[in-house]
Amino acid sequence: MASVEKPAICGICPGGCGIVATVDEGKLVGVKGATGTPFGSLCVRGKAALEVLYSPDRLESPLIRVGEKGEGEFRKVSWDEALDFVAEKMRKIKEEYGARALVSHSGRGAFEHSLSEVNGGKDMVASKLLRGFGSPNSASVGSLCFVSFGILAPMTTFGLSGLSLVPDIERSKTIVVWGANPITDSPPFMFQRIVAAQKNGARIIAIDHMRSDIANRADQWVAVRSGSDGALALGILNVIISEELYDKDFVANWTVGFPELREYVREFTPEKVEKLTWVPRESVIQLAREIATTKQVSLRTYTGLEYSNSGVQNIRAVFLIWALTGQLDVPGGVSITPPLPPLKDTADFSEADGILPIGAREYPLYYELTNTAQFMEFPKAVLKGDPYPVKGLLINGASTLTSYPQPEILEEAYRNLEFMVVIDRFMTKDALYADVVLPATTYFEISSYQRYPGYLRLREKVVEPVGEARNDLLIFAQLAQRLGIGHLYPQSEEELLTRTFAHAPELLQQLKENPLGVRLPAAEPEYRKWERGLLRPDGKPGFNTPSGKVEILSSLLAKHGYEPLPVYVDPLEGPLQNPALFGRYPLILNTGARIMSSFRSQHLNIPKLLKLQKRPEALLNSQDAQQRGISDGDRIVVSTRRGKVTFWARVGEKVLPGAVEVNVGGGGPLQNRAWRKSNTNDLTDFYNRDPISGFPVFKALLCEIEKA
């Protein structure tokens, strides 16, 4: 049979890029980015789709562990045996310790739209299977990613989700990209829009600790000491307020806490900010004046500012620059775009009566706004029974042992569990500790749907699943069935669609007739929505905060005993707060900037992607390298007071003197030797956290480097 080309959606990540897939005798043999259709694109990871899909490392059948935990010895079993075993173990733990003794953790591999929408809730990623089973302990990668930027900071300030704050790129005169590198976004649509805007005359300012890809293209790179962005934001606010460049009408009518902020930012003089942030005082003043007076200045920020000792507050301070300068929901500023409503009411996953999840006591605002467990508290529950004993864990689409700090702490917890199950596409380090491993499909192997802003499309299965791999959603559905809660999940891909579009069967029909998707009716852009009651469920003017205004002084933060102003805390493990340690570890360590060829710890076993970067690198300034006798390409050891990890030196001017950026993702069992041996999180700190979110301080630590 001749090969056929068909329009498809890339199945490597949830980005949903439109591609053209070539299929020959049921096998995917080629991919290319679709042209002339909305959201067509193909990133380097997408280009390696064949190698990912048909990797010899793919998990192809259910496994039950026969060796010791961590050894990696399993026997193949049938799906029925595996699922029966999991259900039996879960029921046993529930009988002996109560359902709360079971915890789930969902990761980036669980972002597929239909799975997220079936889970629903404030944290769209966390699986709600356990909630249906009576445990409040669904957790997700939100325990260390996105929730500060996407929920805690914007909700406490504007009463909005961070995803509602959208830069109006096409109408901007200046675009500020702060702590983000949109070229590594999945999908990279924002990057494409920024590049197009720059060609059309927009000025790009990149604020980042490193000369990232976007900083390289930017008209101005503002190099900031990692972890001190909050001080820079407060310094900018100081100039804006003292020079009276703020929007007086907006401040008077739509904010609470301005007098307190004016008082607080007085101490953040440009001179002090230069000492704290390494940004020259003149640049602080210029940035403030440019943002306040240009108008039509948009902001692109993301998760980069989350990982410092005042991450949530730093992001709030940045948001306030845009609010106070009248650039919220105006053309060319930061638009307020309510998130897409779910296509249907999410399933009724009942709450576990009166039992709080782990982490709710330590991070009450996190719990109030996400309704999930904070996984950073998981080891304490397993190892100390605090707040109550936890005995079982279900992980799907996550690799916690390569992404959480000091992995030995989680490893000890995993060794002490009575039962653990992992659902994934590849054998992760977590899976080595599991009692049962269940093989899941890539998104090339499933049928579903994909939502885009103003656009909807069905995802059609491109090829049959490899081996016995199954759709993640159906694995949950089949497990739910065995636990007596099968009604919570659609039991087939067809049922998924009929349930999702139950209220709009004609739309489903339209989608089936239009494989390239359907454009949804677009409303005319409306600005200053707060004036017309478009931001509050009660339809009254104002913001959806307790006061109805932009809360510079946050009542939600105050309610939980946090400082209500966006206060700055200088990195606790930093030169100013801990000079003695700085004497031994004189370099600022930043971890976690994304690289193009991997997706966090994924794909470091894929030959085509490894060719792009074979080894984990540490970026250091040529001045620091010279002082230590290190040349570009040398094998080096990065040490913190927690551990030592080997990297390869990338010497140059991408980071400032005194700063180091190291790649993350290493430590997985399938990776090549260089990456496998370099788990950056052996350097990071499990206990040094933002007190509001519980997020680890990944980006403001101290280290030293020497030649290996």
By CB under 6 A, name the binding residues for ligand SF4.
10, 12-13, 15-17, 41-43, 45-46, 186-187
Toward ligand SF4, which CB reaches closer, 117 or 682?
Answer: 117
Rounded to a whole number of angstroms, the minimum distance from the CB of residue 113 to ligand SF4 is 12
| Residues in Cβ contact with 213 at an 8 Å cutoff, skipping those fewer than 6 apart | 181, 183, 184
Rounded to a whole number of angstroms, the minimum distance from the CB of residue 150 to ligand SF4 is 19
| Residues in Cβ contact with 252 at an 8 Å cutoff, skipping those fewer than 6 apart | none
Q: Which class for 375: exposed (0-12), middle (13-18), buried (19 or more C-beta within 10 A)? A: buried
User: β-pairing, 74-76 with 617-621?
Assistant: unpaired
Rounded to a whole number of angstroms, the minimum distance from the CB of residue 455 to ligand SF4 is 15
Rounded to a whole number of angstroms, the minimum distance from the CB of residue 34 to ligand SF4 is 10
For residue 415, list its beta bridge partners. Answer: none
Toward ligand SF4, which CB reaches closer, 459 or 470?
Answer: 459
Rounded to a whole number of angstroms, the minimum distance from the CB of residue 338 to ligand SF4 is 25
SS (H, E, C) 11-77: CCCCCCCEEEEEEECCEEEEEEECCCCCCECCCHHHHCHHHHHCCCCECCCCEEECCCCCCCCEEEC
The candidate with the shortest Cα–Cα distance to 382, out of 400, 406, 409, 361, is 409
Toward ligand SF4, which CB reaches closer, 192 or 622?
Answer: 192
223: left (phi over 0), alpha (psi -120 to 50) or beta: beta
Phi, psi at residue 688, to the nearest 5°? -90, 105
Toward ligand SF4, which CB reaches closer, 121 or 187?
Answer: 187
The candidate with the shortest Cα–Cα distance to 425, out of 440, 444, 447, is 440
Residue 351 DSSP label: P
Rounded to a whole number of angstroms, the minimum distance from the CB of residue 16 to ligand SF4 is 6
Please compute Rg for the chain using Cα positions.
Answer: 25
Toward ligand SF4, which CB reaches closer, 13 or 376?
Answer: 13
The candidate with the shortest Cα–Cα distance to 511, out of 499, 520, 521, 503, is 520
Rounded to a whole number of angstroms, the minimum distance from the CB of residue 578 to ligand SF4 is 39
Toward ligand SF4, which CB reaches closer, 141 or 231?
Answer: 141
Total length of the chain: 708
Rounded to a whole number of angstroms, the minimum distance from the CB of residue 117 to ligand SF4 is 18
Rounded to a whole number of angstroms, the minimum distance from the CB of residue 6 to ligand SF4 is 16
**Tally of CB atoms within 10 A around 185:** 17
Distance, in Å, from the CA atom of 106 to the CA atom of 100, rounded to the nearest integer, reads 17
Rounded to a whole number of angstroms, the minimum distance from the CB of residue 151 to ligand SF4 is 23
Toward ligand SF4, which CB reaches closer, 48 or 202?
Answer: 48
Toward ligand SF4, which CB reaches closer, 117 or 624?
Answer: 117
| Residues in Cβ contact with 559 at an 8 Å cutoff, skipping those fewer than 6 apart | none
Toward ligand SF4, which CB reaches closer, 130 or 180?
Answer: 180
Toward ligand SF4, which CB reaches closer, 21 or 207?
Answer: 21
- Contact criterion met (CB below 8 Å) for 318 and 301: yes
Determine the residue with CB nearest ligand SF4.
Answer: 46
- Structure tokens that stand for 455 in this block: 């656009």
